[in-house]
Structure 1
Amino acid sequence: MIQLVHTLCNRWLLLFFFLPLVGCATQLKKNEPVGLDETVFVIGIKPAEFNPILFPGYIRDGKFHLYTTRNGYGNNPEEGYMITKVKPGDLLGITKVLIKRGSFGPTFKMCGNKKTLVFKVPKGKVVYISDIRYEEHKGYITFEYADKFNEAKEYIDREYPALRNRMEKWEYELLPITASCTETIHVTVPRYN
């Protein structure tokens, strides 16, 4: 269960302060070549209006700590799949989930030692992580993980010729996340003399 952390007015702050931190990750184009040293991850997302945001971090004491100064990865799933080219070597975890509704939708945050999906990005692979089914309730969402590798592989092989026969299953962990449930946005105001 993820708690709702943004009100309507906070969504404007999210737009101007959080979204610039999301990296340049976009849904991989269907004919985009992927080098043998580049990494692509695939996560099935149902329903498709849910948009997980993944940030790099590290594990300490069995918990996922996110790097607050690094860019995250997020894009709108296409046809139920998030297919994203990322930097090899990072440890990524789902930290937020946006629900797309017109220009704005609610944002949910993984926090307070709730368990989140975390995986190490390998070098030069196309990896399937999991399928995630989200369900929205009043003020929170629930989610379930499922292994639907064969369905995902069939879709990738059919729709992404550059990735055909390259996708493999990849391990992930469900770890508590140390992020606070209180959202704080720091704004630096320069002082001129």
Structure 2
Amino acid sequence: MKKLLLILVYTALTTGANSALAADADLIVPLLEGDLKKLVVHEAPKATSGASFELADRAGRASLEDYRGKYVLVNFWATWCAPCRKEMPHLSELQTEFGGDDFEVLTIATGRNSPQGIVKFFKEVGITNLPRHQDPKQALASQMGIFGLPITVLIDPEGREIARLRGDADWAGDSAKSVIKTLIEARKDS
């Protein structure tokens, strides 16, 4: 009897999680226009890595788990990446408009990027509101399947990857803003 009850509870939880994700996908996909058409929305949530990364200015370490409870747009980038230079101001604008308790843009420089080089990059492109985190040994990037830059991953409040975009995009455009606004509002309504 206990096993049957456990199976029923597991099935109910799984079904609820999958239908919640399907609802997110149903909300997101119709909003994808322009660059955001490259956003691949997963049919089922994917686990993220537990690997840690360095906080800005080597002030400690964190993991994606530390960001649970909100939607997180994780951008993997590098100082030498030309598309990253173009994309970073868009991410900054998205953070300015939506950053807070329900959403955050998390930037992680992966590979060889000196802290001084990151500071210089941010200064050159006028970024003051995004974190300068690093993944110098690419532990997080490797476990997340990040091959090539930039890659941006959308993580749900439960810490699962729900979508991924390879290459740069206009994250300050109407399509991106509609996606984030819709996700935040749908979560508040549920």
Fold agreement, TM-score > 0.5 = no
Q: Provide TM-score, normalisation by structure 2.
A: 0.28
Q: Scaled by the length of structure 1, what TM-score is found?
A: 0.28
